[in-house]
Copies of this chain bind each other. A is one copy, B any other.
Amino acid sequence: MLSLAALSLRLRASGCQGSRRSIATVISGNETSKLVRDRLKQEVDQMRSQFSGFRPSLVVLQVGDRDDSNLYISTKLKAAAQIGIDAKHVLRSIMSVNENPSVHGLIVQLPLDSVNRIDAELVTNSVNPEKDVDGLSCINAGKLSRGDLNDCFIPCTPNGCMELIRQTGVSVAGKHAVVIGRSKIVGAPMHDLLLWNHATVTTCHSKTPDLPEQVGRADILVVGAGRAEMVRGDWLKEGAVVIDCGINHVSDETKASGKRVVGDVHYSSANQRAGFITPVPGGVGPMTVAMLMENTVTSARRFLLKNQSQR
């Protein structure tokens, strides 16, 4: 189920072009996320026609009222509605949602916004692992980190990165992958995914003393460092696949807002050396929401299968 765009990426990846490539192929998150969402919409339509009255359902639980959270939540609800997922934004207890059989996915919007200190770890781990479509609970992290990929939910950002890597047609097995960052939502699960897709994986972080040398060995590079334009083009291995998870706001007098969004990779130098590169914005960002929808539909599918087998 490859689009023409993906097909042309594959041709480039397999080295079919004759002339020397000087600019990296852009891996579009906008296009790839649309492919995913279209596929999910079809699957949801099929579920709904096969099981009358059934609808995949996602609940977004919010504590407080942060502006940025409100924006992220509305993006998720909109994506869900387009696919046919029944999504609700609620402010009640996790337990009642955990027990509600008509809800298949439950996410807690982070950070928690409260005058009282709330243990985010405790809240995240209160979500029923079978509904934890953000994949952030210990149980899902444990399964992913130990290679039980078919029995867990994979966090949305690294899952989206894998989808983008797949779109290039570059095979992951046997490659040297480098991940910069070890956060719970990006770096650490990204390591796991690349490892269990059989790459040799190096994880770098703030304590890595020789980052340019480590990056220079990467066939596949995923950056989730949270530092604007930190990775320079001349660090890269020629032809590398470069996936940039960074979203950084830097000041820019030429913009009406006085700022613009850049990634963790210095794009204009990196695209001179990389084989494939994700833009920011329009790269990893749209994939994150698409993969949340994917996990919700997966959860609904598992629910249907379980109920069928119990009949």
Report chain B residues within 8 Å CB of A176: 210
**Residues from 168 to 184 in A contacting B, C-beta threshold 8 Å:** 173-174, 176, 182, 184
Whether A209 pairs with B138 at a CB distance below 8 angstroms is no
Residue-wise, chain A 112-124 has the 8 Å CB interface mask toward B (1 for contact) of: 0000000001000
Interface residue range, chain A: 35 or more
Whether B205 pairs with A202 at a CB distance below 8 angstroms is no
Closest partner residue, chain B, to A211 (CB atom)? B200
**Residues from 191 to 228 in A contacting B, C-beta threshold 8 Å:** 191-192, 195, 198-205, 207-210, 214
Q: Which of B139, B184, B203 contacts A201 (CB 8 A)?
A: B203
Report chain B residues within 8 Å CB of A137: 142
Q: Which of B139, B173, B195, B199 contacts A138 (CB 8 A)?
A: B139
**Residues from 54 to 106 in A contacting B, C-beta threshold 8 Å:** none
Question: Nearest chain B CB to A288's CB is how many angstroms away?
Answer: 19
Most buried by B among A143, A146, A210, A214: A146
Closest partner residue, chain B, to A192 (CB atom)? B145
- Residues on A facing B (Cβ under 8 Å): 121, 137-148, 173-174, 176, 182, 184, 188, 191-192, 195, 198-205, 207-210, 214
18 A–B contacts, CB within 8 A, in A order = A137-B142, A139-B142, A140-B142, A141-B146, A144-B145, A146-B184, A173-B207, A174-B207, A174-B208, A191-B203, A198-B205, A198-B207, A200-B203, A200-B209, A200-B210, A200-B214, A201-B203, A202-B203
Supplied contacts A146-B188, A200-B208, A200-B214, 16 more A-B pairs, CB within 8 Å: A137-B142, A138-B138, A139-B142, A140-B142, A141-B145, A142-B143, A142-B145, A144-B145, A145-B192, A147-B182, A173-B207, A191-B203, A198-B207, A201-B203, A202-B202, A202-B203
